[in-house]
Structure 1
Amino acid sequence: MHWMQAVDLYCERTGPGFWAEPVNAFSNAAFVLAGLVALHRARSDGADIWIRILCLWVAAIGVGSFLFHTFANRWSALADVLPIWSFVAVYVVFTLRRTFALGWPATGGVLAIGLAAIALVMRLLPDGIGERTNQSTQYLPAVLIFVAFAAAFAWSGRPGARLIVSAGLVFALSLFFRSVDLAACAHLPLGTHFLWHLLNATMLGLLLAVALRHRLPPPAA
């Protein structure tokens, strides 16, 4: 069946077995830990339901990625990418609405402009760069979002600007390790993809910390 077709993308995987990528699989615990630690803080701070949902979403990213690095087939690849990109979409909308207090029309306008800019940049990428970077170019939109948010936070003086910049730098480093996984395979049989997991979990933890700075005030007694 198409959905059961095996997928082999990473250096550590040397066969079709469930535990053929043990380090890549278990390093996803970092996402779950980041989400649950942030959730504990959110509850302690009385954060609203949307921030708590974002925390659980980060934990779900770890679960989806674990499924992909164990089952390693088409359906688990979908379980991997859906939580990631849906989190990106929800976090962007959350930030535009909560942090920058944009109404829905303005939010829609910003999203439309952003998607058009991303589409243009992706179209201008050189041919073959995806293969040379282990398909890491799919995450270029996230890089562009970080650049835009860092500039917007710094210009507006919103709380969390340094955290956004730090998260962006951590993501850039994680993207490097994802890109060189196969190239480094001859010298490092373990590969470098697990560092993508650990650094991305750190990055998401920083983004949740930014969200917590913009939690709604508790309801009046």
Structure 2
Amino acid sequence: MDWTAPIDIYCERLSASYWAEPVNAFTNLAFIVVALWLWPKSRGIEAVLCAILFAIGIGSWLFHTHATAWAALADTVPIGIFILTYVFAANRRYFGWSVAISMLGVVVFALWLAVGGAIFARLPGFDISASYWPVPAGILLYAALLRRRLPQVARGLAIGAAILTLSLVFRSLDHPLCSALPTGTHFAWHLFNAVMLGWMITVLRRDRVERVRQRG
């Protein structure tokens, strides 16, 4: 595999130059801003997630400037790490599972991402972002399981799933709307994703604060 081969998959990119995607590139600052904003009040796993969120911004910046295979890896790997880390944190914090069971839950969720991605890839309109659509579905499942145990958390997760769904719509419309919107819509995926990931960390933090308050 040629790790330096150019990749052109977004509406905004019209050449292989570094600044061919200025809007897509600079909107990655949203991830960094949100990560830095949440960092001071974050503790433990929340701080880890903030660090990963910061890395998502850097990795996506690299991809939308260099647009090569190695940069694509720098873009997608931090996103996958964030998802699986959050699932582990949710298993531990929201369900109170042991480390071993929580890790098993992460493996099951990873399998769901693989199987769900294959399913969505067969659905018209969903195939463009097939690997991501299982994520909001999985979040909604967690929300449903927690609706009685932790209703506030369940509502927070449902809101996160809704924001991510909107974000995925913009990601999927990038090429279909390219003729009408030369910049495409991928930049909105960055903005809404930054909000969504920051919100998911906030849900964790609010649950921690509430548990401390209840212990008194």
Tell me the TM-score normalized by structure 2.
Answer: 0.88
Instruction: Judge conservation of contact 2:168–2:189 (CA < 8 Å) in 1.
Output: yes
Task: Look up the SS of the partner of 1:206 in the other structure.
Answer: helix
User: Over residues 10-35 of structure 1, what are the superposed CA-to-partner deviations in whole Å (9 max), with x where a residue is unaligned?
Assistant: 00011111010000000000000111
Task: Look up the match of 1:41.
Answer: 41
1:39-64 residue CA offsets vs partner (Å, 9 max, x unmatched): 0232xxxxx33221111111111110
Contact 1:97–1:107 under 8 Å retained in 2: yes
1:160 maps to 153
For residues 76 and 90 of structure 1, do their structure 2 counterparts lie closer, same or farther at Cα, with a shift above 3 Å needed? Answer: same
Q: Which amino acid counterpart does residue 173 of structure 2 have in structure 1?
A: V
Q: Is the 8 A contact 2:133 2:168 kept in 1?
A: no
Give the equivalent residue in structure 2 for 1:51. 46
Deviation for aligned residue 1:209: 0.4
| 1:118–1:144 Cα contact (<8 Å) kept | no
Q: Distance in 2 between matches of 1:135 and 1:14?
A: 20
What per-residue deviation string (whole Å, max 9, x for no partner) do you get for residues 112-170 of structure 1? 544454444444446474xx557301102212221112112313225422221111111
Change (3 A) 1:30 1:99: same
Measured in 2, the distance between the counterparts of 1:128 and 1:134 equals 6
Matching residue within 83, 100, 105 for 2:95: 100
**2:72 is equivalent to residue 77 of structure 1:** yes
Letter in 1 for 2:18: F
Sequence identity of aligned pairs in percent? 37
177, 188, 192: which is aligned to 1:184?
Answer: 177
Residues 1:201 and 2:182 aligned together = no
Q: Which residue of 2 aligns with 1:175?
A: 168
Worse overlay, 80-89 or 119-128: 119-128
CA contact (8 A) 1:134 1:180 kept: no
**Structure 1 length as normaliser, TM-score?**
0.86
**Structure with more relative contact order (C-alpha pairs < 8 Å, separation 6 or more):** 1
Code of the residue aligned with 1:31 in structure 2: it is F
Q: Which amino acid aligns with 2:53?
A: V
Say if 2:53 is the partner of 1:61: no
Q: How many residues align?
A: 211
User: Which runs of 5 or more residues in structure 2 are unaligned?
Assistant: none
In structure 2, the CA distance between the partners of 1:119 and 1:80, relative to structure 1 (3 Å rule), is closer
Would the aligned equivalents of 1:10 and 1:193 in 2 still touch at CA under 8 Å?
yes
* 1:210 and 2:200 matched: no
Q: 5+ unaligned residues in a row in structure 1: which ranges?
A: 43-47
